[in-house]
Amino acid sequence: MGKDKQLVWVMYDISEDKARRKIVQATEEAGLYRVQYSVFLGSIRENRLDELCLQVQEYMDEDTDRVYIFPMCEKDFKRVKTYGEAFDEDMVNDEVKSLIF
């Protein structure tokens, strides 16, 4: 992972389909990968993360929707425990795979 990038988790619970589609699209365009239906993971530049945060706030209904964005350092990420099926290896990039597996 580049020095100017950081790992980030994005998790959401969005009730409206249109808003959910826009948030998913923005998250994928930011270079994050879906690891579960409503969970994305990837590495991102800080300024791109700021843009993503603004987009998410624009699309969501702050009274009913929830979005969690968790930056995580590589050291802590390597301590993540996964059980069961965990990640779909085909859905995450090689950079993130090398940290997971």
Domain that includes residue 65, residue range: 5-100
Token pair in block for residue 46: 């800080």
Domain containing residue 78: CATH number: 3.30.70.240
Q: How many domains does the chain have?
A: 1
pLDDT digits (tens, 9 = 90+) for 60-70: 999 999 999 99
- The residues that bridge with 40 in the sheet, in sequence order, are 10, 34
Residues of the chain short of pLDDT 70, as ranges, are 1-2, 85-101
pLDDT of residue 58: 95
The proportion of the chain whose per-residue pLDDT surpasses 90, expressed as a percent, equals: 56
